[in-house]
Amino acid sequence: MLKLYDTTLRDGTQAEDINFSVEDKVRIAEKLDELGIHYIEGGWPGSNPRDIQFFKEIKSVRLNSSKLTAFGSTRKAGNKTHNDPNIKALLKAETPAVTIFGKTWDLHVKEALRISLDENLELISDSIAYLKKNVDEVFYDAEHFFDGYRANPDYAIKTLKTAEDAKANCIVLCDTNGGTLPYEIVHIIKDVKKHIKAPLGIHSHNDSETAVSNSILAVKEGISHVQGTLNGFGERCGNANLCSIIPNLKLKMGIDCISFEQMKKIRETSRFIYELANISHNKHQPYVGDSAFAHKGGIHVSAVLKKPETYEHIKPELVGNHQRVLVSDLSGRSNILYKAEEFGIDLNSKDPVVQKILAALKQLEHQGFQYEGAEASFELLMQKALKAKRKYFKLLGFRVIDEKKKEDEPPYSEAAIKLLVDGKVEHTASEGNGPVNALDNALRKALEKFYPNLKDVSLLDFKVRVISAGKGTSASVRVLVESGDGKEKWGTVGVSENVIEASWQALVDSLEYKLYKDEKGIKPKKKKRP
C-alpha cells in the first residue's frame, strides 16, 4: 500500500504568511489523522520553542490512523552522533518515526558544509545507523537529489547507497528547488532503481508548477511513499499538494492510499487548514475549491444538470465537494444533512427546517461568516433553527473602555456588562490586557456564579481577519476563537464592522457551546478507526 506523508506542520509553515500556533498544529494533526494520512511530520524539535512544545502536547493526543514523525538533519560534522544536539532532540521527541535529511548534491557538500565528499557519506551513515537503534522507522530525505544527480550522478547515487546500507526504511528523493520537469523525474528514477533496492519516496516542490505531476509520475515508476502538504503550502511556491495527489491516486489510478470515506473529508480538511492559517481559501483549487465544480456558461449549465459528467471529471461528493450552478445556486442541502449526521442530529431531508438552515447559512456567509474552523458556531446555528437549545442568558448591555494615559505606558482596558440570567440581573466589570480580554473576563465573571462549569473553559487562540477589502478601518472583520475545557477543543466565529462586536459573538458562542454540550451530556467526539 502506498504511504502518504504530510509535512504541512513543518515544510508548510515555512511558507510566507503561514504561522500556526501550537494549538493550531495539534488541531491540524487531529484532522490529518481523520483524513487517514499515514505519517504526520510535526516539525523540527530543538529548532524552536513552538515545535518543542508541540511534541510535548501531541503526546496526550490519540492518533488512530497516523504516525507522528520528527524531522531533523544528519549529525553535524565534527560531532559524535550520540552527543549531536540535533540527533538528541529527535530522540527526545519520542516519535515512532524520524526523518532526517542529508546532502546529495556535491555543490552543497563543498560550499555549504565545507567538508569532503567522503565525510558527508559518514554523516549520513552514522546518523541513520544510530537512529535505527533507537527508533522503529527512519526515513532519509535526500535533499536536492535531482539537482545533485544532474551535477554528479555517481556521487548522488552513492549517497543513496550509503543510506540504504545504513538500513533506512525509505529513501526519499527530494526536488528541493522544484526545478525538475516530469520527463526528467521519470528518467532519473528509472536509473536510481537500477542501483537502490530499498523503498523509495518522492518530495517535490512546485517552483515549476509540476510538483503534483512529478509525484504522480514517481508513483507510476514504483515510488511507494509520497510527501506533500495540504493545499500545497510550503516555501517559495509551495510543496506538492496532497489535496490533488490523493484523489488522483485513488480515483484516477486506482491506487489504495486512504478509504473512500476518508477521501470525502479532503475538502473539509483543506478549508479547516486555510481557516487556521487565517488566509483566504483558494476557490480555484482543483478538487476542493469552491469553483472546482461550479458552472456558469449557459451550455455548460444546461448539460451538467442533465448529466453531470458532461462537464465534471469526477463526482464532487467523492472529495466532499458539491456541484454549484452560479446563476441559480442549487447546492447546499446535502451539506446540511452531512453536518447534521456528524453532530448526531436526526434531520430528515424533507424537513422544512433544512431549507431554513440553508437560507440562514447563505445569508450569514454573504455577511462574511465562515464555519470551517468554527464547528461549534455551526452546530449552535443548527440547534437554534431546530429550537433545541435554550437561551442561557440575555445581554442587557456592555461598555468597553480603552484608555492610554501616557505615551510610554500600555493602554488600560476595562469592560462593564449587564446580563439577565434566570430572571436575575447581573451587573459586573473586569479589567484585561486589551478590550476583548476585558470583555471576556467580565462575561465569565458574570456567568460563573450561575454556571460554575464555565470555569473549565479557556480561550486558546484568537484570530482577526479583514474580509471587506478597500474600506480601510471601516472594513468588516471576522473573528475566530478557539476554546477548550481540557477534554475537547472547539472553534467559534463572529463577523461585524466592529471588532468588539465580532469578538462578542464568537465569545458568546464559545461559552454557550460549553453550556449546551454539558447540558445535553455530549461527550467529546472520538475518532473512529477507518
CATH for 91? 3.20.20.70
Whether the Cβ atoms of residue 383 and residue 517 lie closer than 8 Å to each other:
no
> Which H or E run includes 55?
helix 49-57
Contact 321, 288 (CB under 8 A): yes
Query: 328 falls in which pLDDT band (50, 70, 90)?
Result: very low
| Domain membership flag for residue 403 | yes
Say if residue 362's pLDDT is above 90.
no
pLDDT value of residue 527: 35
How do strand 39-43 and strand 294-295 relate by DSSP bridges?
unpaired
My answer on whether 114 and 239 are in the same domain is yes
3-state secondary structure of 530: coil
Give the model confidence (pLDDT) of 413-448 as tens digits.
999 999 999 999 999 999 999 999 999 999 999 999
What nine digits make up the cell of 392?
A: 442561557
In contact, 190 and 167? CB cutoff 8 Å: no
pLDDT band at 96 (very low <50, low <70, confident <90, very high): very high
Q: Three cell numbers at 242? A: 496532497
Does residue 151 form part of some domain?
yes
Q: Which amino acid is at 185?
A: I
Lookup: cell for 81:
552522533
Residue where one domain finishes, among candidates 406, 423, 450: 450
Average pLDDT over residues 93-98: 97
Residues 152-172: pLDDT tens digits? 999 999 999 999 999 999 999
Specify the number of domains making up the chain: 2
Q: Tens of pLDDT along 178-218?
A: 999 999 999 999 999 999 999 999 999 999 999 999 999 99
334 pLDDT exceeds 90?
no
Would 83 be classed as within a structural domain? yes
Residue 368 has pLDDT above 90, yes or no: no
Are 397 and 273 in the same domain? Answer: no
With b for 16 or more beta-carbon neighbours within 10 A and e for fewer, the 445-470 pattern comes to ebbeeebeebeebebbbbbbbebeee
Q: Which amino acid is at 399?
A: R
Q: Average pLDDT for residues 103-122, to the nearest whole number?
A: 96
Q: What domain range is 428 assigned to? A: 393-450
Q: How many helices (H) and strands (E) does the chain have?
A: 18, 16
Cα–Cα distance measured from residue 484 to residue 514, given in angstroms and rounded to the nearest whole number? 9
Residues contacting 105, CB < 8 A, separation 6+: 143, 144, 145, 147, 148, 151, 152, 156
Question: Can you read off the three cell numbers belonging to residue 341?
Answer: 449526521
Query: For the chain, first and last CA: distance in Å?
Result: 15
Q: How remote is the C-alpha of 146 from its chain's centroid?
A: 28
Q: Sorting pLDDT into bands at 50, 70 and 90, what band is 342?
A: confident
Tell me if 381 is assigned to some domain. no
Q: Measured on CA atoms in the order 51, 57, 60, 64, is the torsion positive or negative? A: negative
Q: CA–CA separation, 518 vs 194, rounded Å?
A: 61
Measured CA to CA, the distance from residue 3 to residue 106 in angstroms comes to 30
More confident residue, 92 or 295: 92
Type and span of the H or E element at 24: helix 22-35
Out of 277, 309, 336, pick the residue that ends a domain: 277
pLDDT band at 330, cuts 50/70/90? very low
3-state secondary structure of 476: coil
In a domain, 405, yes or no: yes
Average pLDDT for 522-530: 39
According to the model, what pLDDT value does residue 46 have? 81
What cell was used for 88?
538528541
Q: How far is CA 408 from CA 298, 402, 413, 431, 435, in A?
A: 63, 16, 16, 20, 19
Reading phi first (left if > 0) and then psi (alpha if -120 to 50, else beta), residue 307 is in beta
DSSP symbol at 308: G
Confidence of residue 271 (pLDDT cuts 50, 70, 90): very high
CB-neighbour burial class of residue 237 (10 A; exposed 0-12, middle 13-18, buried 19+): middle
Answer with the residue of higher pLDDT: 371 or 108: 108
The pLDDT mean for the chain works out to: 92
Say if residue 298's pLDDT is above 80. no
Q: Pick from 450, 481, 515: which residue ends a domain?
A: 450
264 and 411 part of one domain: no
Position 148 pLDDT exceeds 90: yes
At 22-68, the pLDDT tens digits run 999 999 999 999 999 999 999 999 888 999 999 999 999 999 999 99
Which H or E element spans position 416?
A: strand 412-421
Is pLDDT of 520 > 90? no
Q: Look up the CATH number of the domain holding residue 409.
A: 3.30.160.740
